[in-house]
Amino acid sequence: MKLTGCSDCKKVVPLNDTLIIDNVYYCFQCVESKYPNEGELFSHDVRKHYDDTVCNTCKNDFGDEVLKMNSHYPICDSCIVLLREKIFPKWVKAFFAVLVLIILFSFFWNLKYYQAYKEYSQANEFYSHGDFTNASKLALSANSKVPNVKRLEFSSSYFHGVDLLYKGVSTEAYNEFYKLQNEYPDDNVVNSLLYYAKAGMAFDSGNYQGFLDASKKSLEMDGASPAILTAIASAYACIYVSKDDEEAKSNCIAYLDSAKAMNDTSAAALAYFNKVEYRLFSKKIISSEEFDKKFPNGWQKTEN
């Protein structure tokens, strides 16, 4: 234990029984007599110098041995162990270990849901820009990552069907939409696309009146869109070419103008307009695939 002298009464007292007021050591007794009201000390610089040979926790005197410090407080080894156990007990360590494991496990286990969500969002983005192939690929990938989710199953079939439609593979597209229609019989968009696919099948078989009827039915189901209006224009173009029907030609131009007026500037829409214009001008009925092969950069009147 360390001792020190009180500046006031001159007694030698344990260091821990003193306070330093304005850099002068006072024993507790003298502090109490000099400053009976605690408030009087507020205007002074008051500090305490702890004896580093006496544990501040268990109050044991360690003679001349200098103890470790817990911030400003001397503390013996056994109290350090007890304090550590109290500050961060085993059950709290276990609690946090479990918490960290839960966070890590949840993060990795649920990663597939976030990847599927990202792919789904990107698929919608591609779809809105008319890139149906990439939309279909990503929706399919999202659905394979998280199966049995209606939203993903729907978008996967839907985007795939639309992609097939635009590639001119109408029968497969029809099958996709037929599956969807069984699950969502009241969905106007699906029903409209089913007729749209039917129109494609009618075109493939050379039934141009059937092509026109199915396209108009699609328009009835889902309202006007550039794709549906262009499909009707396309059907009229086929009737014009096959029957040399001038009225069909006028109808074709009218529907095409209506489609263009809707300001769809997607690549898919522009390509479709171009195909109908070619059919009307060249009086040739070729499939979408043949057209793409023949005019990989699109068709212009000056080429003929």
Partner 1 sequence: MILIPGHIIAKFTFPGVVVHEFAHMLFCKVRKVAIIDVCYFRDGDPVGYVQHEGSTSFFTTFLISMGPFFVNSLLCLLICMPAYIPLKFFEIENIYFYFLLWLGISIGMHAIPSNQDATNVYNEAKIHARKGNLLAIISFPIVGLIYIFNLLRVLWADVFYGVGVGLGIPSLIFG
CA distance 172 to 36: 98
Q: How far is the CB of 47 from partner 1 (least distance, A)?
A: 11
- Closest C-alpha among 186, 196, 188 to residue 162: 196
Minimum distance from residue 26 beta carbon to partner 1 (Å): 21
Give 62 or 73: the residue with its C-beta nearer to partner 1.
73
Q: Which is nearer to partner 1, 68 or 293 (CB)?
A: 68
- Which single residue is written with the structure tokens 């099958």? 175
Give the binding site for partner 1 (CB under 8 A). 70-73, 83, 86-89, 92, 95-96, 99, 102-103, 106-107, 109-110, 113-114, 116-117, 146, 149-152
What distances in angstroms separate CA 45 from CA 25, 29, 147, one per listed residue? 12, 18, 72
Shortest separation between residue 99's beta carbon and partner 1, angstroms: 7
Cβ at position 19, least distance to partner 1 in Å = 16
Nearer to partner 1, 84 or 283 (CB): 84
Residue 43 CB, shortest distance to partner 1, in Å, is 14
Among residues 79 and 276, whose Cβ is nearest to partner 1?
Answer: 79
Decide whether 149 or 285 has the Cβ nearer to partner 1.
149
